[in-house]
Amino acid sequence: MEISNSYSPYSSSSVDSTKPSPSESSVNLSLSLTFPSTSPQREARQDWPPIKPLLRDKLKGRRLLQRGGGTSFFVKVYMEGVPIGRKLDLCAFSGYESLLENLSHMFDTSIICGNRDRKHHVLTYQDKDGDWMMVGDIPWDMFLETVRRLKITRPERC
């Protein structure tokens, strides 16, 4: 059986940093190898390096600790329309409720998670892939690992 010649022999310089999503992959014969060595997606990989789940969880824990030097993890918080931002230690909160309460107090307005509402500001965050997401969908621990900065948006924008 012949090998189709339409894919290029692998070479280290041709690593693509985007993994084809399931909907795109079916016709892509030049399947770039899926490891993005330099993209920010690297941290999220569950199958490299090849270590067992228990050790992997331990690694995640350590990275979390290391960032804040042990017990703190500061992120920038901006409110839309306000040029000067604030900094907040996320480790000081036990969950989303205390975070919202504190933010509402800090910015002197009512802030909520999730559901769009004409009246309230909505809290969003930028994750490690660079995307802006609604706060509150994922478990708190997972949120702590992926959040990079926070933004309080005006209601109409969502």
Give burial (CB, 10 Å; 0-12/13-18/19+) of 14: exposed
Site for other proteins in 138-157 (CB under 8 A): none
Distance CA 72, CA 88 (A): 9
**Among the listed residues 158, 80, 78, 152, the one whose alpha carbon sits nearest the alpha carbon of residue 111:** 152
> Which residues fall within 8 angstroms of residue 98, CB to CB, at 6 or more apart?
none
Residue written as tokens 């109409």?
A: 156
Total residues at interface with other proteins (CB under 8 A): 38
Nearer of residues 22 and 83 to other proteins, judged by Cβ: 22
Window of 38-46, 79-87, 99-107, 143-151 that interacts with other proteins by CB under 8 A: 38-46
Nearer of residues 28 and 109 to other proteins, judged by Cβ: 28
Distance CA 15, CA 10 (A): 9
Site for other proteins in 49-88 (CB under 8 A): 49-55, 58-60, 62-63, 66
Window of 27-35, 81-89, 113-121, 139-147 that interacts with other proteins by CB under 8 A: 27-35
Applying CB under 8 A, the residues found at the interface with other proteins are 1-4, 7, 9-12, 15, 22, 26-29, 31, 33-35, 37, 42-43, 46-55, 58-60, 62-63, 66
